[in-house]
Amino acid sequence: MRLLALSGSLRARSSNGAVLRSALALHDGPATTADIGALPHFNPDLDGENATPPPPVAALRTAAAAADAILIVSPEYAHGVPGVLKNALDWLVSSGECVDKPTAVITASPFPTGGDHANAQLRETLRTMSADVIASACVEIPAIGPKVDPTTERITDEATLAGLRTALSHLTAEPAPAPAPAEA
């Protein structure tokens, strides 16, 4: 299973970046992290069938098309989704790479709420994009600060790592085969 990971934080020492790296270290397979900070602001004039997408947009779409599943890790800003992440998702609406793709949303916050507003908003946006949002792979991580080792910038909290392991196993699980048709 090839994963595409997107982080909603551009901060160099991002705690969500630590979550993303820790999650990918638990993943048994190839993974790519998209550089969404390089994307231009979404503009419908640059989108659609007759438009040539700017190179960073084309790169994001190629990476999304090549992925079997998408992992989104993000902070919450002012009870919302960071603009840089919403911008990246807007570039993927009409091109359709997220349609039916298993997708997980993880939010991490220094507060007890775990970024619950941003998590819910991201899931709503992704469902609107027809992504296959795997509810059991979506996680809100509260009080993230002490759960990150400042030297390795990885998660050290065992319960959080266990939650990430479960989320990844649900995200990357093969879909159950369709039941055989009943005999007439």
Contact 164, 35 (CB under 8 A): no
Of the candidates 93, 115, 97, which has an alpha carbon nearest to the alpha carbon of residue 105? 115
Among 1, 53, 77, 96, binds ligand FMN (CB under 6 A): 77
Cα–Cα dist 181/65, whole Å: 32
Question: Hey, what are 17's tokens?
Answer: 């970046």
Q: Does 79 bind ligand FMN (CB under 6 A)?
A: yes
Q: Segment near ligand FMN (CB under 6 A), from 6-14, 33-41, 84-92, 165-173? A: 6-14
Select from 6, 71, 76, 168 the one that contacts ligand FMN (CB under 6 A).
76
Determine the angle formed by the axes of helices 15-26 and 158-171, rounding to 10 degrees.
60
Give the amino acid at 53. P
Site for ligand FMN contains 75 (CB under 6 A): yes
Question: In the set 12, 28, 50, 78, which binds ligand FMN (CB under 6 A)?
Answer: 78
Query: Which CA distances in Å does 129 have to 4, 70, 103, 167?
Result: 16, 13, 11, 21
Considering beta carbons, is residue 76 or 97 the nearer one to ligand FMN? 76
Among 16, 22, 125, 172, binds ligand FMN (CB under 6 A): 16
Contact 106, 19 (CB under 8 A): yes
Instruction: Name residues contacting ligand FMN, limited to 118-147 (CB under 6 A).
Output: none
Letter for the amino acid at 18? A
Interacting residue with ligand FMN among 113, 143, 166, 173 (CB under 6 A): 113
9 interacts with ligand FMN by CB under 6 A: yes
Residue nearer to ligand FMN on the CB measure, 34 or 57: 34
Q: What's the CA gap between 114 and 8, in Å, rounded? A: 14
Which positions lie near ligand FMN, rule CB under 6 A?
A: 9, 11, 14-17, 75-79, 109-111, 113, 115
